[in-house]
Amino acid sequence: MPDAFTTRTLNVTTGTREAVADLTHACEEFLQDSAAGRDGLLNIFVPHATAGVAIIETGAGSDDDLLAALRTLLPPDNRWHHRHGTPGHGRDHVLPALVPPHATLPVIGGRLELGTWQSVCLVDTNKDNPNRQVRLSFLG
């Protein structure tokens, strides 16, 4: 019988620009290896103070819209008290309050239960740290 709890760390390079990186395929591959047709929960966790996890449509402009909305809500300027790094970096430390660093999703029959247009995405506005880790954990 497969383990009831399995975990894996992904290394994701987001580059030096704001990014919404689609993790859906990596999540599905992880579940193929770990869920073995079982029901359970997939937890996605980003152990960074300046990144988050969003469930959002990608490829039709929503990912760009999300980044535009975050620039409106959290302008990359010098208003922030947290001031190390590139100008406006303090906003990156506020991001996880709006885009949490985790999501827990249902897995049915070993498959991720997302809506038709939903994708699992890493949201990273921090231009100073292009290398991210994402922890995937299956409990089932």
CA atoms within 13 A on the CB side of 127: 12
Q: Which of 102, 104, 99, 103 is nearest to 123 (CA)?
A: 99
User: Token pair for residue 58?
Assistant: 């990608």
Matching CATH number, 5-139, of 2.60.120.460, 3.40.50.300, 3.40.640.10, 2.40.30.60: 2.60.120.460
pLDDT per residue over 12-59, tens digit each? 999 999 999 999 999 999 999 999 999 999 999 999 999 999 999 998
Give the length of the chain: 140
Domain spans in the chain, listed from the N-terminal domain onward: 5-139
Predicted TM-score (pTM) of the model is 0.95
